[in-house]
Amino acid sequence: MSITFDRTDPGTSRLTEVLADLMTRGGFPTTAAELDERPDAEYEAWGLDSLGHLELMVILGREFGITITDADAEQLRTPAATVRFLAALLRPGS
């Protein structure tokens, strides 16, 4: 199933920008526009191996003050899945 980012949603847009920034700082350069163009591409498309993926999940956890379990991380293999997960988790009242 293809997940389309709703660029009119400021929360989704901001999460995509943060994800792109964290990937770039981690040595995997990208932009929010690139993530929007290929939201369902697995992180390997940006050069992240399993260790890079794990590091990204840890960094995201720190950035947002959350814990991403190993089980959750296994499901977060694409930018779209990651943004959807974060948006749901960080939604007020969640």
- Amino acid letter, 86: L
User: Is the CA virtual torsion 57, 24, 47, 36 positive or negative?
Assistant: positive
Distance of alpha carbon 93 from alpha carbon 8, whole angstroms: 21
Give pTM, 2 decimals. 0.84
List, in order of start, the domains of the chain with CATH numbers.
Answer: 10-87 (1.10.1200.10)
Residue-wise pLDDT for 11-68, tens only, equals: 788 899 999 999 999 889 999 999 989 999 999 998 999 999 999 999 999 999 999 9
